[in-house]
Each structure stands twice: as structure tokens, then as C-alpha cells.
Chains A and B, each alone.
Chain A
Amino acid sequence: MIILFLISFSSFCYQALAAKMVYLYVLDDTAAFALVSSIFFIGMSRGCYRFLRVFKNSSSERQRYYLASNEVSVVLAALIMGSFFCGVPLLLKYFELHFPQVQLETLQIFVAVLAMIILNRLGTYLGLEICLSYNYQQELHASREKVESKDVGFAIAWTYLGGLIASALCAFWFYAQVNPMKFVLVPVFFNFVLAIYFVAKFFRQFSVWKKLRLILKLLFAVFIMLRFETRGEQLYQNSKFFLYNVNGVMPYSTVLDNLNFLKRRMQITSVASPYQIADWVTYLDRPKFSRLYLDGAFQFDTIDENKYHEPFWKGGLYFSGRTPQHILIMGGGDGLLAKMIFESEATSEATKGKITDKFTAQVIPEITLVELDSMVPQLANDYWKSSENNSLNKVKLELVDAFDYLRARKNQWSAIFLDFPDPRSAELSKLYSVEFYRMVKKNLSSDGFIVLDYPRKDSSKIISSTLMAAGFKNIIFYGKGNTFVYADAIDRSEMSLASLKASSPFFINSTPAFDIEAVNSIFNLRLP
């Protein structure tokens, strides 16, 4: 039962770690978890099938040999998976440099298929190992006449317990690390101990040739384990240089030379929280230019952040025609939108003097900033303090989930700015749902407004329909490059809205018509 427990524990760990790494590369955790789980489970199912077809009726000696040998294969496959996921960008770059005639998309598909094969293979080894272990247990109870459900129950209970501990470890410890994949060594260690146990237990029963093969395989596993322990972390960190290379220049013909070239020009500092991994990238050949990436997704750079935050704030001022005094910012833990608000003046060129209430230093708005992850404001203080001008010290900071925060309140904010990451997962999608927008509306004053950054052009119909379903009447999509949505529930004539749009200093995008099928609900997702 301990054997089943350990195998189940390791299989859940491998699955969860692979899912996290796939998420970091493809930025869609729904797809990552779904794909990894299904490929892994298919592999495990295949392992059970292989046991039934190949090993079930073979000799006891052969079954025991494979019980030991397959356990070492699990160790090797897990280490290959770990190394692969740590070095995917390096591998891709290698293919790019050596096969320039092949399109990048084709290479990406090839690498994805390779990942699936590795995952499926690991799942197959684990599925086979579970069946071989259970078969070994059966040999110990060979006198029984019938399968007792309590025997199966015990086996399943230990299997699930392994899964439980693995999922808790992944959630509370592994995922909150800069490189989650380095923890692949934890389940690998248990598999290795099991392999040693099986080899030692059955060693005398094997032929010389099989003994030799097993010893060589074990020594190879030790070698790979030590290599991964010393190089795994570095491999993953090196991969990031290629991911965050903004100008794309690769002057050399080998991956190693290009890596050294990038290392001389970039510095990457990585920090992790239970929610995400932050990479602060400094480009040494471009003074004052740094970029923030969260879970591999670009957030802002220190030179161009104004081009994003200025229309975000000033669009709200322009389309509402007033300067809000009670402002709620949700998700802007970097402090840059708050900084823009504090520094802004109503007479700026972007608003062309159309705002009646002049925003001056005498009228300082009350800003409440809601951020889920305490790491982001901490990073702001540590890395871009000069850029955000200590704005985080002037706001009321609430470290809580945005959805929970609004559900528990009924305020009268005059403006709410939603500065969330793109809805690339079911978790983030709820912050673009009709339920969330209704709560936002409930917390707005009657003449209040909201502004949000809308993720992609193809999502405008969903965003527009969802806002309308939540009760917002005037919805304006604006901005080029950085795109935003302004919405309020004020009664306005079609004509005044049209004239506002016509004289707008911002580029106006068309507002798609309402479509009930496009409404994004947490109970019926339309995004991502």
C-alpha cells in the first residue's frame, strides 16, 4: 500500500508540475490543466492496458524484473520531463538556428508534440507501475478466491491519499516558487527509493544480464538526477533570456553564444508568490528601461507605461465630463495608474479642456486600490519606486480578491478602474463576467463610470454584451494599440453620445451590438 501511495503521490506531482510549466509558456491555465491531465491520464490508462496485454500472464520473474526496471524508467522519464520543461525556449531556439527554413509555428507544434509524447510516456510508466505493484500485492494474497471490495478499497484509498498530499504540496509550496519544476526532484527521490527497494528485494532472482542492465540503468538515473540538481535551475533561468529578449537580435549561430550575448545585456530578477511568478528584466544597454512580466506575460515597461495609463485615466475624465473624487482601482497594484491620477491635470492636452471640474493639487481624490497579490506592491516599492512616485503610500491599499471585495460592499464610488490581467483562465474570466460587472455597478454612484482595459479586439463583442447585460447604458470602446472601454449607466441621448465620440481626442472603435449568447457568466464562460 505504501508503494501505491508513493506512486500515486509522484504521479500527481508530475502532472501538477507539468501543468504549471505549460501554463507559464502558453498562458492559459484552463488549456494547460485540461491538456496535461488528459494526456497524462491517457498515458496511465495505456500503462494499465500494457500490463494486461504484455505482463499479466508472463512469468513472476519477468514481472518482478519489470517492476524494478519500470520504476527506474519512471525516474528517468520524470527527469527528462523536468529538463524539457525547464529548457523549452532553449530547445526552440536551437531548432530555429539549425533549421532556419522551417517556420516558427511548425517548430512550436513540433515541440508541443514532443512535450505530449514525454508526458504520455511518463503516464504510461506510472500506470504500468501501479498495476505491477498491485499484481505483486496479489501474489502475497494468492490464496483468496474472490476480490474483496475492501482490498480494492484499501488500494484505492492509499492511491487517493497520495494524490491529496501531492496536490496540497503543489498548491502551498511548489507553486509558490520561482521555478516549480525544480521540485520534480521530490517525487523523483521517492521513485528512486522505490526503485532501489525493488532492485534490492528481487536482485538474487534475476539473471546476470538483467542485473547488469538494472545497475547501469540505476547509475544513469543517478547521473541525470545530479545533473538536474546542479543545472535544472540554471536551465530554466537561461531560458528566460530568450523569452524576454525584446529586440530579437541573435548575432551568433549557436544557442550558447547567443545566451552569453544576452546575459551581457540583460539582468533578470525573479520573485514568486502563491499567485504568480514575477520577472523584473533590466536591459543594461538601454538606461532606465525595464520590464515587468507576471507569469511570463508582459505587464509594462518603465519608458512606455505612460502611453497605457494616460488614456486609461483621461478617457474616463473625457467621456464622463467630470473629475471623480472617490476612486476605486482594482488590480493596479503596480501603483502606476494611481501615480497617473495624482500627477494628472484636467487641462492636459488629451482632454482638450472639456472637463468642467478642474483637477488640481487642491482637490486630491480619495483612491482605494484593491490588489490580490501583496508581492506586486512590494515589487513596486523595491524596483520602480521612482517611476510610481510613492503613489502607493497615498492610497488606501486593500490586499484582497476583487470579486470578494465588491461582493461584501455597497459603496458609492464615482469611478472604478479595472486594471486586471487578460482573461486567460477561468479564474480571471470571472473578473470579466456579468456577475462581476453587476457588483461593480452596484458599487457605483448614479453618475459614476467605469473604465477597463479590454484584452483583445475579438473579445469586444463579449465585453460589450456583458456590460450591457449588467445594466450599463453608454459603452464606448476607445484607444489604438492600448484599447479601453468606458461605461456608465447615465441617461444620455444618442445625439450627445455621438457628438462626444465625434469630438473625442481618442481613437473610437465601434461598439458591437448586444448578443445574449455572448454574455460572459461565471456559470457559462465565454472568455478566454
Chain B
Amino acid sequence: MTKATSSSKISLKVRQWMLFVAIASFLTEMILAQMASVLWGGVLTKYILSMGIFILALGLGSLYQPKGVAGEKLAWQQLVMSGMSIFSPWLVLWSGTHLYSWFAKFIAASAVFVVGFWSGMEFPLIASIASEEVGADFSFVFSELLRLDYLGMAISSLFFPVFLLRNIGVFQASFLAAGVNLFIAAMAFWQYMPGFRLKKSSFKFQFFLVLGFILIASGWVLNKELISLAQEWMIQ
């Protein structure tokens, strides 16, 4: 393994993954925070608390080390993350509107925690893929990916409240985040699982991949109906 030099570069593909993964994760975080703030009062403290739980879970998730090839793990991680982006806002909404008091908040906080934990695995996995390309240059990998992570956060934090929330709403924004996760899952699958394609579990992956795309497309088209359903839950 060669030590990285100034000419070492993380490939454009991996850098794009990092950027888009950061955008999607932070977007999901803000969607959940928005949902929690809608459900539990006009209180800034509660909004920040949900962010806090998410951040804590991100930290713990980044410590968890799934075994296996990083690229394959990333593909599965992104596939599951995509499902979480779609369903977690609904779980928070459902618990907030159908369950009472502390139990609803517990369920919602758990949902926020699980999503945070899962999305916390992204950075180390992508760092691991990047290190395959550039070698043992810790600070180079860390700095380059952190740069893109911050850039992704900047894009999400600007576009969600200013553009997405006003123009497409919470649910389409969650489908957008899920779409980004799913796209990266498909890319990682294509790139890192050539041998894996013939295995039995590969069909399971492809099945969920297709199902994910169908869910996202349907959800996008049926946005108005979904909003009506959410409104029914809110005022029942």
C-alpha cells in the first residue's frame, strides 16, 4: 500500500457519493425535526432536542462497524436508509397523532435515534472506500470527505427551509432524500457487487431496489393524497 501524496485523489464518484449522502442525511434529519416541532409545540427547545438525539445517534452509528466489504455494506446501508427516509416521517407523525403523551414521544425519539444511528455509518463506510483508492493518508481522507460533508449540510440547510418546504413540502422532500439514497445504493451495487449479482441474496437486494423506486415514484405522484391522509391524522 502506498502512502498518499499530494497527487493522490479520491475519485469523483466517491466524492459525489459523500456529497449526496450528506445532503440526503441532513435532509432527513431536518424533515424529522420539522415533523417533531409540528407535533409537539412551537418550542425551539423540542426542535433542537430532536436534532440533538439525531446527532448523538449519528455519533454512535459512526462507531458501529458492520463486517464485510465497505462498498457492499454501503449499498445495503443506503437501501435501508432510503426506506427510513420514506417511512420515518410517517412513523413520527403516526405516533404523535395516534398515541398518547410520553409513549408517542418515546416512539418518535426512537425513530429519530434509529435513523440517526443508521445514517451515522455512512461517513466511515465512504472513508473506507476512499482509503482503498488513496491509501493510508488519514487526514487527507478525513479532510476531503469532511469538506464534502459540510458542503452537503450547507446545501440541505439552505434548500430545505427556503425552497423544499415551501415548494414541494415535507413528504416530497422525504421522497427526494430517499431517491438520492436509493440512487447511491444502486451505484454502489453496480460498482462493488459484480460477484454478488449471481448470489441468491442479490435478488433480494434488487427486489428491494425496484420496490424502493416504485414507492418513491408512487409517493411523488400521490403527494396530495398523502397530505390529505396526514391532515386527517392531525385533526382526528
Please give the residue numbers on chain A whose beta carbons come within 8 Å of chain B beta carbons, in ascending order: 16, 29-31, 33-35, 37-42, 44-45, 48-49, 51-52, 56-57, 127, 130-131, 134-135, 137-138, 141, 144-161, 163-164, 167-168, 170-172, 175, 274-275, 372, 401-404, 407, 426-428, 430-431, 434-435, 438-439, 442, 521-526
Q: Is the CB–CB distance between B63 and A153 below 8 Å?
A: yes
B124 touches A150 (CB 8 A): yes
Name 7 A/B residue pairs within 8 A (Cβ), A-sorted.
A16-B48, A45-B147, A138-B138, A153-B64, A160-B55, A428-B42, A524-B227
Chain A residue contacts of B55, Cβ below 8 A: 160-161, 163-164, 167
Given A131-B143, A147-B128: A156 in contact with B62 (beta carbons within 8 A): yes
Within 8 A of A (CB), among B6-59: 6, 34, 37-38, 40-45, 47-49, 51-52, 55-56, 58-59
Which of A34, A37, A160, A172 meets B58, CB within 8 Å? A160
Known: A33-B161, A146-B136, A147-B128. A521 touches B227 (CB 8 A): yes
Q: A146-B1, A431-B42, A521-B231 are in contact. Are A52 and B120 (CB under 8 A)?
A: no
Query: B79 in the interface, Cβ–Cβ < 8 Å?
Result: no
B136 cross-chain contacts in A, Cβ below 8 A = 144-147
How many pairs, one residue from A and one from B, have CB atoms within 8 Å of each other in the complex? Answer: 235
B171 at the A interface (CB under 8 A): yes
Kindly state whether residue B154 has any CB partner on chain A within 8 Å: yes
Residues of A near B131 (CB, < 8 A) are: 146-147
User: Within 8 Å CB of A404, what residues of B?
Assistant: 40-41
- Verify B48–A168 contact, CB threshold 8 A: yes
Residue among A34, A127, A151 having the largest count of chain B Cβ atoms under 10 Å: A34
**In whole Å, how far is B122's beta carbon from the nearest beta carbon of chain A?**
10
Chain A residues, CB < 8 A from B153: 37, 41
* A402 to B157 alpha-carbon distance, docked (Å): 28
Give A372 to B151 CA distance when docked, in angstroms. Answer: 37
Q: Is the CB of B124 within 8 A of A56?
A: no
Shortest Cβ gap from B120 to chain A (Å) = 7
Q: Are A146 and B135 in contact, with the CB atoms below 8 A?
A: yes
Chain B residues within 8 Å of A147, by CB: 127-128, 130-131, 136-138, 141-142
- Residues of the B chain whose Cβ atoms lie less than 8 Å from the Cβ of A426: 34, 37, 161, 165
A523 contacts B171, C-beta separation under 8 Å: yes
Which residues of B have CB within 8 Å of A438?
Answer: 231, 235
Is the beta-carbon distance between B150 and A145 smaller than 8 angstroms? no
A153-B42 contact given A56-B143, A523-B227, CB 8 Å threshold: no
Complex: chain A residue closest to B143, CB-CB: A131
Q: Is the CB of B42 within 8 A of A430?
A: yes
Question: Of A37, A44, A402, A522, which is in contact with the most chain B CB atoms at under 10 Å from its CB?
Answer: A522
Task: With both chains docked as a complex, state the minimum distance between the C-beta of A403 and any C-beta of chain B, in angstroms.
Answer: 7
Chain B nearest Cβ from A325, distance in angstroms: 25
Q: Which of B94-147 contact A (CB under 8 A)?
A: 120, 123-125, 127-128, 130-131, 135-144, 146-147
- Given A31-B162, A56-B143, A137:B138 Cβ within 8 A: yes
Distance (Å) between the CB of A145 and the closest chain B CB? 5
CB atoms of B62 and A157 under 8 A apart = yes
Given A30-B161, A135-B139, A146-B136, residue A435 in contact with residue B235 (CB < 8 A):
yes
Contact of B150 among A45, A56, A155 (CB under 8 A): A45
Distance, CA A403 to CA B234, complexed state (A): 10
Does B75 interact with chain A (Cβ within 8 Å)? Answer: no
Contact across chains for A38 and B231 when beta carbons are under 8 A apart: no
Kindly list chain A residues whose C-beta atoms are within 8 Å of the C-beta of B41.
372, 401, 403-404
CA distance A351 to B40 in the complex (A): 40
User: Is B44 within 8 A of A175, CB to CB?
Assistant: yes
User: Is the CB–CB distance between A134 and B161 below 8 Å?
Assistant: no
Residue in A closest to B70 when the chains form the complex, CB atoms: A149
Are A167 and B59 touching (Cβ within 8 A)? no
Cα A407 to Cα B41 with chains together (Å): 11
Q: Is A41 a contact partner of B157 (Cβ separation < 8 A)?
A: yes
Does residue B187 face the partner (Cβ distance < 8 Å to A)?
A: no
- Given the complex, which residues of A lie within 8 Å of B140, measured CB to CB? 52, 56
Which residues of the partner chain B approach A521 to less than 8 Å between Cβ atoms? 169, 227, 231
Contact A167 B151 (CB under 8 A): no
- Give the Cβ gap from A170 to chain B, nearest Cβ, in Å: 7
Closest to B158 in A: A38
Q: Which A residues touch B58, using CB under 8 A?
A: 156, 160
Q: B193-232 vs A: 1/0 string, CB under 8 Å?
A: 0000000000000000000000000000000000100110
Q: Which residues does chain A contribute within 8 Å of B230, judged by CB atoms? A: 523
Nearest CB of chain B from residue A177's CB, rounded to whole Å: 13
| A438, B232: Cα distance in complex, Å | 10
Kindly list chain B residues whose C-beta atoms are within 8 Å of the C-beta of A163. Answer: 55
Given the contacts A45-B148, A52-B140, A141-B138, A403 and B42 also touching, CB distance less than 8 Å? yes
- The answer to whether B191 has its CB under 8 Å from any CB of chain A is no
Question: Which residue from chain B places its CB closest to the CB of A132 in the assembled complex?
Answer: B139
Check B157 against A37 for contact (C-beta < 8 Å).
Answer: yes
Which chain B residue has the least Cβ–Cβ distance from A141? B138
